[in-house]
Structure 1
């Protein structure tokens, strides 16, 4: 698609992604083609939190090796692809943007890994339905764009941790993750973030303080 190029984020050069050369112009072009308003194409940018989680997974492959991984809010598939490269037994890349599955498939092919895109809102699942998710590791690269979304994501992730899943999230300092519930695993300098994140210089990988498996 015009406006995308195969490149890599500076923090994760091992992973190739089709990213927007200019996210704002690319968004406007998508809307013009569709003839109506569209949500921002978050899948066309390698966000700071996602870069941090992908970097951590690649540097500590034992976190996911041989395990079933769910990447929540996968976007470009960066984190899911990193998990597959690190030896995960199965990787599901979940997102609610209808364009994201195509982006995830294209990016997975570019990296020679198998990732299963899933287009559904897992945050709407009942507790009983959520317990049926087959994942040993739940990753969320950068899913805290608003207060309302952050509350829903955090509830889902803490529930997963209570079910004994390893949970890792990326946070470039948006201020929406309660420090009392989460602890920092690793912090990375991230200097290639877009939009509102262009003023942020670091992104951390966090895990819940709740009981559950630790990375």
Structure 2
């Protein structure tokens, strides 16, 4: 079923579910999709820049290649989602669930991720310059070779996180838990 942008927004406003829908390459930029249910939906290549996805259910959604820069994903649940090649610069991910996600090599430049749960996520080779991750659950996160210049990780739980060969210049880790974290060959 081909849905127009207005029809999709109206469905969300009416509390209807888009679970499992094929929304590949849909242009939903600047749309209000707050609390929408996109579980198992195909949003690959979708244009979601500056969209409001606050509180959205994106569990197991396909967001590969999606344009999410500047979007609001505050308190969204992305557990099990795929995001390869997604554009996430300047995205609001405060309080979002990103547990175990493969974010390898993605650009999260300037992303606001305060209070997010990224436990066990792969952020190796990711670009996190100027990202804020205050009070985040980052237990066991792989930050190997990631670029974290000027990122803020205050009060984050970095227990058993791996920062080998990561660029940590000017990173603020004030009050962070670092027990068992691996900083081998990291740049400080």
Question: Taking CA–CA contacts closer than 8 Å with sequence separation of 6 or more, which of the two structures ends up with the larger relative contact order?
Answer: 1
Superposed pair shares fold, TM > 0.5: no
The TM-score, its normalising length taken from structure 2, stands at 0.26
Q: Looking at secondary structure, tell me which structure has more helix per residue.
A: 1
Greater percentage in strand: 1
